[in-house]
Amino acid sequence: MSVQTFTTASTVEEAIAAVAAGARPVAGGTDLVVGARTGKSTMPESVVAIHRVAELHGVESLADGGLRLGALASHAEIAASGDVRKRFTALSDASAIVGSHATRAQGTVGGNLMNASPAMETGGPLVVLGATATLRSPSGTRSVAVEDLWTGPGKTSAAADELLVGVEIPAPAAGTGSAYLRLEYRRQMEIAVVGASAAVAVADGVVTEARVAMTALSATIRRIPEAEATLIGSDGGSAAIDAAGAAVAAASTPISDVRGSADYRRAMAAVIAGRAIETALSRAREENA
């Protein structure tokens, strides 16, 4: 470990100033320190601890029906939110299964997004829920769609002096259901080998909106327009679901590694995406009921 400078920010301004000066932000430490201990990365020379910045915390339901997550909202906090569970269910699904009890208690949505792992749990749900990330730097604030945040494994489009301060999710359309599902070998302590998120709206028995994203199947989490197209306008029946699953599999570019072969991952892409879509549809129908 080669950390030379450690500061603790107590305000967003302090945090941003430190980041702009080259410090790496740390909150739960569940990615940063683990990465260094396993030799996947090295500890940065300068670290700013942002975990005590009050205004970066919180899960807040907005008047317009949207949701605001502070960058430091923990997975446990998100999973425990009744509003998230009811209206942003895919995110609740994901936050509830990140790592272990301790990972969920310490790990934050901001850390999850900015670590930019293609296997992260919360990314896919935020993409299909149409979330935007708020990035702040000394020169101002900008919003970026979460799906445009990642540029590769471990890489984001954030500038070096930008800090993710929060995430906003717009109000879902009436009759929307969403779900996140991962292929898991164990029930807990898993890293997604394949994951899929879906958000669908159903009106009068017809799918009116559909967003589908895949996790751990390409360099970044991304939407699969081909899968969405097969669903929109359909009755959401098994033929449409199978076609959407097949579209996800076709769009995937999985790797072979110790967790599974590319062939298996591709086959599972169809299965898991199909199940995620099916769950989202059934939740959407419950909304309508």
Partner 1 sequence: MKVAATLNVNGISYPVDLDPGTNLLTAVRDVVGLTGSKEGCDDSECGACMMLLDGQPVNACSYLALQAEGSAITTVEGLADGDTLAPLQAAFLDLGGVQCGFCTPGMLVSATALLADNPDPTEDEVRIGLSGNLCRCTGYDGIVKAVLSVAGSS
Partner 2 sequence: MATVEEPRTFIRPDGKEKVTGTGRYTADLVLAGELVAKFRYADHTHARITRIDTTKARALPGVLAVVTHEDVPDVLYGGMVQDRRLFAKDTVRFEGDVVAGVAATTAEIAEQAAALIEVDYEPLPVVTDFEAALADDSTLVHPTWESYEGDEALGRHDNTLGYSTIVKGDADAALATADVVVKGRYFTDPVQGVPIEPRAVIAQWQGDKLTVWTSTQVPYAARAGVATTLQIPESNVRVIVPLLGGGFGAKCDFHFEGHVAALAKAARRPVKLVFSRREEFFAVGHRREGMVIEFESGARSDGTLVARKARLVLDKGAYCGEGGFFAQMAAMHALGPYELENVHIESSLVYSNNQPSSSIRAPTAPQVCWALEQHMDELATALGMDPVDLRRKTLIETGSVTATGQVLERIAMKETLEKAVEMIGYGQELPDDEAIGVAVGWWPCFASKSGAYVKLNPDGSGTIITGAQENGTGSVMAMPTYVAAELGMQPEDFSMLYQDTDAAPYDMGSCGSQTTFNSGRAVIAAAVDLRDQLLDAAAEKLEASRDDLELTGGSILVMGSPDKSVTIAELAGEGTFHGKSEDVVPDGPEAPAEGCVGRLGLESFHAPQLIAHAVRVRVDRGTGVARVLEVAAAHDCGKILNKIGADGQVYGGVVMGIGQALSEGTQLDAEGRHRNAHLTDYKLVTASDAPKIDVAWIETDTPGAGPKGSKGVGEPPCVPTAGAVANAIAKVIGARVHKLPMTPERVWEAGA
Site residues, partner 2 (CB under 8 A): 38, 183-189, 191, 258-261, 264, 267-268, 271-272, 275
Collapsing DSSP to helix, strand or coil, 233 comes out as: coil
- Residue 20 binds partner 1, judged by CB under 8 A: no
Among partner 2, partner 1, none, residue 191 binds (CB under 5-8 Å by kind): partner 2
| Element (DSSP H or E) covering residue 152 | strand 150-152
Nearer to partner 1, 29 or 154 (CB): 29
Restricted to residues 135-174, the positions that interact with partner 1 (CB under 8 A) are none
Nearer to partner 1, 76 or 247 (CB): 76
Q: What is the rounded radius of gyration, in angstroms, for the C-alpha atoms of the chain?
A: 19
Which residues contact residue 74 at a Cβ distance below 8 angstroms, ignoring those fewer than 6 apart?
28, 104, 105, 106, 107, 108, 109
CA neighbor of 97 nearest in space, from 58, 71, 124: 124
Pick between residue 145 and residue 189 the one whose CB is nearest to partner 2: 189
CB of 27 to partner 1, least distance (A): 9
What is the sign of the dihedral through the CA atoms of 119, 50, 80 and 174? negative
Site string for partner 1, 179-218 (x = CB under 8 A): -------xxxx-----------------------------
Query: How close are the terminal C-alpha atoms of the chain, in Å?
Result: 56
Interaction of residue 54 with partner 1, rule CB under 8 A: no
- Closest separation in Å from C-beta 183 to partner 2: 6
Find the shortest distance in angstroms from Cβ 141 to partner 2: 36
User: Could you give the 3-state DSSP secondary structure of residue 32?
Assistant: helix
